[in-house]
Amino acid sequence: MSFADYDITDSYTGITITGGNDGTEATHADLASPLTLQGAHCREWRSNLSEINIRRYQYLAIKGSSDPRMVAVPDTKAMRATMWVRLYPSTGTAAESCLSIHLKTSGVCNIGFGQYNPPGIGLYAGHSGTFNFGSSYLAPKIGLSIASATATTWYPSLLAISYNTWYQIRLEVTPIATLGIVDSELVEAFYNSGTEADPTWTSIFSQVNLDSGGRWIVYGNASLTKCAFGVQLKTGSSGELCRAYSDSFQVQMKPR
């Protein structure tokens, strides 16, 4: 998909992303330990050094006009989203970055609730301060949230990750029917513990989400079943740089 195929929601006025809303093009060969099978380029998300201690959430949801099957997903479909992510080490106090993928979501973030996360199910790779109100800005991890408009449950420490390293992450949501009625869903998260050429998907989260729980989002709701990815950046107390890289965001659907 091209950049024009996404709706963009900036959850609050924050730093300027270098290159504008869609970041800038970076070359894999210029990075240490580059990806070699995803094409020559990836996407760089970089903060503006002139801005100090400011956060921005860049949230990109697939438009319905680009593919109607990506919006108002019925309970007959299972969803899968994957993306390559790479974090750059902070250059100063409290500078943060985070990349995320989202299913059963919308274009509106819960500002001030659940650390600015969108409703739905999200898999995050970033500094712990960018999700779950963590205080360790130098400890990148993979975490997950399950959120309705009124409640959020965080699983903030699924896997510790390293800087300057590409990780491929995957999020899956599979509806489960009891007597023909979907009343729960299986939420699963994985990361590729193998290689780019020979992936090995290792489970880091698996849980059944019940319709009787406070985090259930009804299937077929056009405002809460989009697929998306997010970019969160926060400059340091002296305007220190933060940046991250992403590549090959993909969404797949299949019969449950």
Span 144-164, average pLDDT: 85
CA–CA dist 182, 212 (Å, integer): 12
Torsion of CA 149, 161, 26, 104, to 10 degrees: -20
Q: How far is the C-alpha of 58 from the C-alpha of 256, rounded, in Å?
A: 31
Across all residues in the chain, what is the average pLDDT? 80
Average pLDDT over residues 104-129: 69
pLDDT tens column, 44-73: 988 766 666 666 666 676 665 555 555 567
Q: What's the pLDDT at 177?
A: 92
pTM over 0.75: yes
Q: What are the tens digits of pLDDT across the range 71-85?
A: 567 788 898 999 999
> What are the residues facing 147 on neighbouring strands?
120, 152
Q: Which pLDDT belongs to residue 97?
A: 83
Cα 211 to Cα 16, 111, 181, 203: the distances in Å are 39, 24, 11, 23
Q: Is the pLDDT of residue 206 over 60?
A: yes
Residue 200 pLDDT more than 60?
yes
Closest CA to 86 of 254, 252, 255, 242: 242
Q: pLDDT confidence of 88, banded at 50, 70, 90?
A: confident
pLDDT score recorded for residue 168: 98
Residue 99 has pLDDT above 70, yes or no: yes
pLDDT at 1 over 80: no
The rounded distance, in Å, linking the Cα atoms of 188 and 203 is: 7
Q: Please compute the mean of the pLDDT values over residues 197-212 and round it to a whole number.
A: 94
